[in-house]
Amino acid sequence: MKKLFLLPLAAILTLASCDTKDPDDTTNYDSFTKGVFVVHEGNFQAGNASLSFFNKYNDTMSNGVFTSVNSIPLGDVGQSMVTIGDLGFIVVNNSGKIEVVNLEDLSSKGTITGLSSPRYICVVTNTKAYVSDLFSGVITIFDPQTLATSGTIAVTGQIEEMVKTSSGVIAAGTGANQVYKINTLNNTLMDSVNVGVGPSNVVMDANGKIWIMTNGGWGTEAQKLVCINPVNMDIEISLDFTLADYPSSLKTNAAGTALYWANGGVFKMDVATTSIPTTAFISTAAYKVNADPETDMIYVSDAGDFNSNGHVYRYTAAGAAVDTFEVGVIPGEFTFTP
Amino acid sequence: MKNIGLCLVFIAVSAICFAQVSDSLVYPEVTVTEQRIEEAIGSSVSETDTLLYKLLQSKGLTQVLETESFISTRSYNPGGTAVFSVRGSGPQHTQVVWDGIPINDPMLGQTDLSTVSLSGVSGVRVLYGGAGLTNNSGGIGGTIELLSTKPRTEDGVDVKLNGYAGSFGTYGVSLLLRDRYKKLFGSTSIEYQTSRNNFKFRNLATIAQEDKMLEHALVKRIGFTKSLGLNINQRNTLSATVYYSQVSKELPPSMLMVASIETLFDRDIWASLKWRRIGKKSVITATAAYIYGNQQYFDQNEYTFHHLYQANKNLVRYKLDLGYNLHFEAGGDAFNEHARSDSSYRSQPHWRFWQAAFASLKYVPKKWVAAQVLVREDVIDGTFSPFQGLVGVEVKPTKWFSIKGNVARNFRAATLDDLYWVPGGNRDLKNETGFSWEGGLAFKTGIKTFRFGFDATYFQSEIDNWIIWLPQGNVWTPQNKRAVSSKGIETKLEASVTTGKLLFKLNGAYTWVSSKVTEGATANDASVGNQLIYVPLHQAKAHFSVHFAKLFLLYGHQFTGLRYTTSDNKSSLPAYQISYVTLGYEYTLKKHTMGINFTVDNLFNIAYQTIAWRPMPGRSFLINLSYQFN
């Protein structure tokens, strides 16, 4: 009887101990401000692009979050995403638009339209960003605050990824086999260098050097991994993959001291190394890869048969598997909140 | 035993389903799939009905097949690129033949139904499963036959002129002229059709869900067919036919795209020279054909493509009546295909040489049983294909009841795109192999004022080495990595009743198709055990017509079940039902016949999609005027 009497008290104490939330804590744990977005390409012309969000507060993955919040589909071919302040910019390639959302609740802030085949955004300042494009022959300039486009930079052919450096923006000119350097003050091309056929991925390492991965013209030549100095655009390292390799998704670790890419599995190369590793760092079906700049955790996407829900695998920086989440159709780029 | 039970259950279900539909139906003269002893024995064949074909001809081949067969079609917009599925297979598993000549695009291995002009095509027949093996290989799902206009049998001229206009900027005109003078005969047909397709739809992809007008969806089609023939003597006939079709299409944006200025131009030329000799007990036919296809795609960007393929195809068929109810047939094909594409093959030309031979023996007595054995072998670029064959039996123990069945083995060769696409083409691909069987029963009875027919077929097919394109890093490449199993039930019912001067006709069909991946491309392939995308599990269609002298009223109703849009079956398009009604009248004065038809399509203004985010038109109207001189 005495024990029975103690039960409600124990329950109250247990419940109280579960609620460890600081009463002064105003953090919205359900917001989209601390986590990882997974941009899903979906199938070309199928309109099943989507957005997932991995919430770092509670380690949960939520799928289709853009549609859940805004009650409309994201669009056709989700390409990439960046965050600028409290806004998220989702590039939807075949819909020719950028969906802009509030990161607090993911509600729609607006849509930037009039783009041809947008691919990636490079944030220059809080009031200026560039959007690359596959087909328009221009890089479009827009203001992330007003969402208004303010001009274009004429280029030759397709432009893929871009990265901002202290001496300008470096852009991968896939169509013209050139890596461009753009003066961000007057939005003009300053310089260019030929690094091989089809430069696509660009990242900056801890030393401020730019690493570029080419696509080889889809079989025209072996793909290359090239390091250039963004100041003088000199090629410092140029490494060839074999013709049997089809690497993609070049990224850096949090410190910028190592490169990751997907080529069947996940490959890792120290930036001080001058030879391409031949064995995978993580053996898994990898479509895209990226590393969390805060925790260095490695995120890998597996697109399965490219017509069904894919998976995201998480690994420690040492390559140990952590967990797996089912996500949407063709999980592509990972975007980490600041 | 389990399958037989399942079969019976679905026959019962289909009958119930039909009964439910028929309660609300009213409709016309329709044809029915009918077992044809001259086709592969024990196989299913459906052929277009004369009246329905006449009504649907202006709407194109997609609509004809959707309405009058068990085929499931889907298109990006009316008149837009259209593909289809026969018995749960893919569009590449069905051969389209024109007068016995395979016309599938060798690059894609399929035919875009929207590019086929029905000018000079008098009807369409669908051979299901292995029934097409006599004509060609590759038709694992089936074969669609485009039947050319038959020549006049008597001296003289007849003319058919048809003009129509309807909603969304649709209008067109077609002319068919046939003539014969003693030993010379011929036909000429011309078709012009255009539609702006600027219909309103609700854009579900926007927050406001505003009504929007479909833009950039203009379709223009020109078709021309000329045929000339000469009866050299009583036994020998020589004929030549040229078919020309060109379609220019604007490709409209989906609901998820702001705009599009993409266009596609398609030109097809098919030409044949045919010699036929009819002997006392034999018939020999030799055909030399030229097939040309050209597609040009343009968009607002720098991406364009030009595909060109040409082929010469030579076919010989020999039929011999051996006596004792035995009929022997043998044939050989020699094809030479050539394709070039600036985008797919980077302007590199590719050739393929294809030979085939087959032999068939049929036992067809006048009484109650018929049987057939067929063997076939193809040689592609010097490599022997898997052995193909068909064994079929049909038994008709009474006048009103028959059963049939066949077992067939078929294959499909990789397309030229599969082999040579740059980058990623895989020259080491194996052929897909298909094994199929079917069994069915049919009831047919009737008296002077009442006719009734019902038949049901259960089919099953297993396709191995299914080719699927998967990425290797940045590059997509085709691989033999899947197996697919399809099974299903096809049921048909037709009935007609005459009361006084009134004739009532009812025709219905129900299809259940389960087409599932049985072997995945990867260890964790989510498609395994799931229905193939865009293959509806259930489809039903029915037509009811009332005829009073030359006046008729026709009501058609069509149900298409849920279709999955991803291979893990986690996304789908909902089922939809659409219906249409036609009122028609014909007036004949001596040799002149004039007709008028008024049709309301999508009568209940249903919003539906056959491809995700591609709106289809709501209610529309079409008026059709025809004149015939005979």
Domain B2-629 CATH superfamily: TonB-dependent receptor, beta-barrel domain (2.40.170.20)
CA closest to A221 among chain B residues:
B423
* Cβ contacts of A307 on chain B, cutoff 8 Å: 527, 533, 566-568
CB pair distance less than 8 Å for B568 and A308: yes
What digits encode the pLDDT tens for the residues B115-149?
998 888 999 999 998 888 878 899 999 999 999 99
Task: Give the side-chain half-sphere CA count within 13 A for B624.
Answer: 24
- Residue A31 tokens read as 């917001």
Q: What is the pLDDT of residue B280?
A: 93
Q: Compute the average pLDDT of residues B254-260.
A: 88
Least confident of A250-254, B136-140, B182-186, B625-629: B136-140
According to DSSP, residue B57 is labeled G
Kindly tell me if the per-residue pLDDT of B4 is higher than 90. Answer: no
Collapsing DSSP states into helix, strand and coil, what is residue B487? strand
A242 min Cα distance to partner chain B (Å): 13
Residues of B in contact with A285 (CB under 8 A): 522, 524
Min Cα–Cα distance to chain B from A95, Å: 4
State whether residue B427 sits within 8 Å of chain A by CB: no
Q: Which chain B residues are within 8 Å of A264, Cβ to Cβ?
A: 472-473
Backbone angles phi, psi at B424, to 5 degrees: 110, -15
Before B423, cis peptide (omega within 30)?
yes
B613 vs A contacts (CB less than 8 Å): 46-47, 73, 76
Q: What is the mean pLDDT of chain B?
A: 89
Burial of A151 (0-12, 13-18, 19+ CB in 10 A): exposed
- pLDDT tens for residues B380-436? 999 999 999 999 999 999 989 999 999 999 999 999 999 999 888 999 999 999 999
Please report where in the chains the tokens 């008149």 appear, as a residue.
B79
Query: With 90 as the cut, is the pLDDT of residue B34 above it?
Result: no
pLDDT at position B436 is: 95
Bridge-partner residues for A202, per DSSP? Answer: A212
Determine the Cα–Cα distance for residues B112 and B378; give it in Å rounded to an integer: 25
Instruction: Say yes or no: B261 contacts chain A, CB-CB below 8 A.
Output: no
Kind and range of the H or E element at B78? none
Closest to B131 (Cα-Cα) out of B437, B401, B403: B437
Q: How many residues does chain A have?
A: 338
CA gap B310, A69 in Å, rounded: 52
Residue B21 main-chain phi, psi, to 5 deg: -65, -40
- What is the pLDDT, as a whole number, of residue A274? 84
Sequence-distant (≥ 6) Cβ neighbours of residue B127 within 8 angstroms: B39, B40, B43, B44, B45, B135, B139, B142, B143, B144, B145
Interchain pair A75, B303: CB under 8 A: no
The C-alpha atoms of residue B574 and residue A49 are separated, in whole angstroms, by 19
3-class DSSP state of B63: helix
| CB B160, CB B178: distance < 8 Å | no
Q: Is A96 left (phi over 0), alpha (psi -120 to 50) or beta?
A: left
pLDDT confidence bin for B301, thresholds 50/70/90: low
DSSP type of residue B527:
T
Please identify which residue in the block is written with the tokens 């295909």: B337
* B38: confidence class by pLDDT, cuts 50, 70, 90: low
Tell which wins on pLDDT, B77 or B38. Answer: B77
Give the model's pLDDT for residue B223: 95
Kindly list the residues from chain B whose CB atom is less than 8 angstroms away from the CB atom of residue A308.
525-527, 566-568, 570
A49 pairs with which residues across the strands? A75
Phi, psi of B50 (to 5 degrees): -60, -50
Closest chain B C-alpha to A254 CA, distance in angstroms? 24
Question: Do the chains contact at B472 and A246, CB–CB below 8 Å?
Answer: yes
- What pLDDT score was predicted for residue A109? 95
Radius of gyration of chain A (CA): 22
Contacts of B299 in chain A (CB under 8 A): 135
**A13 compared with B193, residue with greater pLDDT:** B193
Chain B residues 205-224 with CB within 8 Å of chain A: 205-207
To the nearest whole Å, the CA of A12 is away from the closest chain B CA by 42
> Do residues B526 and B533 touch, judged by C-beta distance below 8 A?
no
Q: Which residues of B touch A219 (CB under 8 A)?
A: 422-424, 475
Cis peptide before B617 (omega within 30 of 0): no
What does each C-alpha distance from B448 to B51, B410, B451, B551 come to in angstroms?
21, 43, 8, 21
The per-type count for chain A, helices as H runs and strands as E runs, is 3, 27
Structure confidence by residue, pLDDT tens digits, B197-233: 999 999 988 888 889 999 999 999 999 999 999 999 9
* Cα A21–chain centre separation: 32
Q: Does the pLDDT at position B12 exceed 50?
A: no
Nearest to A125 by CA among A112, A141, A106: A141
Nearest CA-CA partner of B292 in B333, B251, B243: B243
Q: In chain B, where are the structural domains located?
A: 2-629
Spatial separation of the C-alpha atoms in residues A102 and B2, rounded to whole Å: 57
pLDDT of B27 over the 80 cut = no
Query: What integer is the mean pLDDT of B487-496?
Result: 96
Sign of the four-CA dihedral B541, B58, B135, B234: positive
Closest-CA residue in chain A for B251? A45
Evaluate if residue B40 carries a pLDDT over 90: no
What residues of chain A score a pLDDT lower than 70? 1-27
